Structure 1
Amino acid sequence: MTTTDSPLHGARVLVTGGAGFIGTAVRDALRRAGARPVLLDNLSAYEPATVALLGTGRHDPDLVFGDASDNDLVRHLVHDADFVVHAAAHSTVQGCLADPDTAFRSNLAATDTLVRAVADSPSIRRLILLSTAQVYGHGDPDTDTTRPRLFTETQPYQPLNPYASAKLWAELHTRQLLTAAGRDFTLLRPFSVYGPGQVPKPGAASWVVAQFTMYAALGQELLLNGGGRQVRDFVFRDDAADAIVRALTAPGAAGRTLNLGTGVQTSVSEVAEHVLAHFPGTTVRTAPPAAGDPLGGRADTALMHRVLDWAPAVTVTEGIARYVDWVRSTPAAIPPWMRAETSDGRLAAWTAPGPAVTRPPYLDQPASSCNGAS
């Protein structure tokens, strides 16, 4: 299909959290489809240097600097749009625990502001809400807890933390308001998205590909909590963005809740092995299990494949290799707090009572975070 044949050719697409790790990848995928992306972000999710690495910033002609909970601004942007991708969120579990005020504004108030604007705007052809696979929690409590799970869209919710609970509320709120208003929407639940451009945040333990690669590049140990038995469904960033853009116009996606994953489970210890292949000689140490860290599982992708007529293209082996290449070519991406860490310090933080999180100084501004990631 050529760009002019794309159903998104010439369409105006508002992406909230558009300067984030996923938002910038969605922008690139929209451009390939011939769409006209508009990024709404207040640039509070990352240090300015990280925002620049993602290819955006105050200089970006696609960027509208502002907050997703600003009612007047959001309504103006929605009025001028054909589609909306809602990726804005305060997107780490520990970040939400450390800064509940920002988490409330970003994950609840901003979602309410946007959804009400879409409900009142007949020009919007579809809203995509990025939720998270964390709404599944540990999975069905009646199944074998010693085995990794298969997470299916219709199974009961089991959110284990404020971030997952906020995303579940966002799903329900979106469905209720937009169904009543007769507006089209799709709810996507991404699993573990990773790839070039991902820079870990303090306390974001789930971003294990990025963390292991950067620690190995620094010559530090890789710590396997609980021996690395946990499994994840790792989705390459470009694949995730392609699926999000495809969901904007896929006829069968209307009103659906869809997993966004690969259907392949990879253990944390296997991630370490992949990283070690690129950094031989790196030391690996078994560490105590992290509190509340689920065993994990993989996405049931049957509905996603059928509705989107799509499958991810990048394997974990290839994806980690691409991320390693990116870190090696962009060493400044490694944040200072990681350079200052030690293995003993990380172990002490995991065993300390309560979330051991330091609020990053770039969040000390009046606007809320607008980064979307799971």
Structure 2
Amino acid sequence: MTSLTGARVLVTGGAGLIGAAIARHVRASGGAPIVLDDLSGYDAVTYQALGLDPDLVVGDINDESLMGRLTRMSDFVVHAAAFSTVAGCTRDPDQAFQSNLSGTHQVLRAAAREQVKRLIFISSAQVYGHGVQGLDQVQHFVEDQPMSPLNPYAAAKLWGESHTRHLLDAAGVDYTIVRPFSVYGERQIPKPGAWSWVVAQFCMYATLGQPLPLNNSGRQVRDFVHVDDAAEGICRALVAPRAGGATINIGSGRTTSILQVAELVRDHLPDTAFQAAPRPLHDPLGGCADIARMTEVLGWQPAITVADGVDRYLNWLRETPEAIPVWLPGERDRVSAWNSGVTP
């Protein structure tokens, strides 16, 4: 575990899946997290089920005065706050702009003014789009390949990468850009109209006795990385000497098919049925991260397998059944939603 003894780390979006895991990791590593979130990601009932950081500051990253005060108290900044679903950004571009562009600008300005030791900008593997080989080939995503964002969320993340470089290079402030792949794990709760987060969705469907929809027979592959591993990698990037100025994939470097995820869930809940469904519009076959730079720069690789991660999620769900959203049991035709013509 990376030592952050005595370090004060501002984590924006600290009530979200990745932000909360980072805050826990900072605390376990001897640091002091300063957790900021506006609590817009879920309703109050869901946050009660999740539990909130005892040191949470409720506020908006667009609040210039607040950002200045919190950044002044911090040695490092991890910018995890985002309006973070593809479908949500498509439906509400105004909110997406405020959170993902305007908010990022305010965070970067504060980091530049207060001369923090390093800022981590959490981007996304979404910036790669379908990759260089197209929809029907398994991809190997390398940090320096051409970017091709396919939706407003991905485009905002790519803009955020560029804006981080421009503002912080000019201010002489160190930074690292990380691109997490398919992050999953305990405390991940699906949102209406969101088409990702398959581990959480499949575990919840199976718990409710609903079938698991396998589009294209579940042949699509993803690079799943457990949120605790992702948090460790990001915290290592805070202090790794060679991470300064670098752009780094955060992934396992391995592909896991959606069918494999479904089978892992069924291993725990043998009565689970699978539902065949056609391939959604524009759904890529998928791929995995090239982790050569991550391994070399951070001296680290993820340790939690997908099998262990599914086991952990189902155990958490048994202990926290109230985490299943009230709308999800009534959602009987996910396949039609996925094939409605909206790109995931």
Q: Same fold (TM over 0.5)?
A: yes
Residues 1:136 and 2:132 are matched in the alignment: no
The letter for the 1-side match of 2:110 is: A
Deviation, structure 1 residue 145? 4.8
CA distance in 2, matches of 1:41, 1:146: 39
State the percentage of identical aligned residues.
Answer: 57
Aligned pairs (5 A) from 1:104-143: 104-122=97-115, 124-140=116-132, 143=133
Residues 195 and 338 in structure 2, CA contact (< 8 A), matched pair in contact too = no
Kindly indicate whether residue 89 of structure 2 is the aligned counterpart of residue 96 of structure 1.
yes
Partner residue, 1:162 = 152
For residue 53 of structure 1, report the CA deviation from its aligned partner. 3.4
CA distance in 1, matches of 2:226, 2:90: 27
Would you say the 8 A contact 1:21–1:54 is kept in 2?
no
Instruction: Map 1:125-274 onto structure 2 (within 5 A).
Output: 125-140=117-132, 143=133, 145-274=135-264
Amino acid at match of 1:68: I
**RMSD over aligned Cα atoms:** 1.5
Structure 1 position 355, deviation (Å): 7.4
Q: Which residue type is aligned with residue 124 of structure 2?
A: T
Give 4+ residue runs of structure 1 displaced > 6 Å after superposition: none
Aligned residue pairs, count: 344
Q: Which residue in 2 is equivalent to 1:366? A: none
Alignment deviations for residues 61-108 of structure 1 (CA, whole Å, 9 cap, x no partner)? 411110011111111111111000000000010011111111111100
Task: For 1:153, give the aligned amino acid.
Answer: E
The Cα of 1:352 is off from its aligned counterpart by: 3.0
- In 1, Cα distance between the equivalents of 2:160 and 2:257? 29
Amino acid at match of 2:44: P
Cα distance change of structure 1 residues 278 and 167 upon mapping to structure 2, 3 Å threshold: same
**Contact map agreement 2:186 2:316 (CA 8 A) in 1:** yes
Map 1:273-352 onto structure 2 (within 5 A).
Answer: 273-342=263-332, 345-352=333-340
Counterpart Cα distance in 2 of 1:292 and 1:62: 42
**CA gap 1:333/1:145 in 2 versus in 1, 3 angstroms:** closer
Judge conservation of contact 2:50–2:323 (CA < 8 Å) in 1: no
CA offset digits 1:190-231 (Å, max 9, x no partner): 000111111111122220000001000000011011221111
Three-state SS of the structure 1 residue aligned to 2:119 is strand
Whole-angstrom CA distance in 2 between matches of 1:197 and 1:61: 16
TM norm structure 2: 0.97
C-alpha distance in 1, partners of 2:253/2:235?
20
**Distance between the aligned counterparts of 1:144 and 1:243, measured in 2?**
29
Q: Distance in 1 between matches of 2:259 and 2:297?
A: 33
The 1:349–1:146 alpha-carbon spacing in structure 2 relative to 1, beyond 3 Å, is closer
| Counterpart secondary structure, 2:178 | strand
Residue by residue over 1:272-312, the C-alpha shift from the partner in whole angstroms, topping out at 9 and shown as x without a partner, is 11111111121101112222322210000010001001111
User: Judging changes above 3 Å, is the alpha-carbon distance between structure 1 residues 144 and 109 closer, same or farther for their aligned structure 2 residues?
Assistant: closer
Aligned with 1:24 (options 14, 20, 25): 20
Instruction: Return the letter of the residue paired with 1:177.
Output: L
Please say if residues 213 and 275 of structure 1, whose CA atoms lie closer than 8 Å, have aligned partners that are also in contact: yes
Match of 2:44 among 30, 48, 52: 48
User: Do 1:16 and 1:68's aligned partners in 2 also have CA atoms closer than 8 Å?
Assistant: yes
Identify the match of residue 77 of structure 1 among 70, 85, 89: 70
1:228–1:37 Cα change, 3 Å: same
Amino acid paired to 1:82:
D
1 CA distance for matches of 2:340 and 2:226?
A: 32
Deviations 1:163-210 (A, max 9, x none): 000000000000111011110000000000111111111122220000
- Unaligned stretches of 5+ residues in structure 1: 357-374
- Matches of 2:318 and 2:60, distance apart in 1: 34
Letter in 2 for 1:347: V
Counterparts in 2 of 1:355 and 1:150: CA distance versus 1, 3 Å: closer
Q: Distance in 1 between matches of 2:319 and 2:267?
A: 18
The TM-score, its normalising length taken from structure 1, stands at: 0.89
Q: Displacement, 1:11?
A: 1.2
> In the alignment, residue 125 of structure 2 is paired with which amino acid?
A
Task: Indicate if the aligned counterparts of 1:24 and 1:55 stay in contact, CA closer than 8 A.
Answer: no
Structure 2 distance, partners of 1:147, 1:162, is: 24
Give the gaps of 5 or more residues in structure 2. none
Shift in CA distance, 339/37, structure 1 to aligned 2, threshold 3 Å: same
Question: Which deviates further from its counterpart, 284-293 or 77-86?
Answer: 284-293
Check the 8 A contact 1:137/1:294 in 2, yes or no: no
Are the equivalent residues in 2 in contact too, given 1:90–1:107 (CA < 8 A)? yes
Separation in structure 2 between the aligned mates of residue 297 and residue 50 of structure 1, nearest angstrom = 32
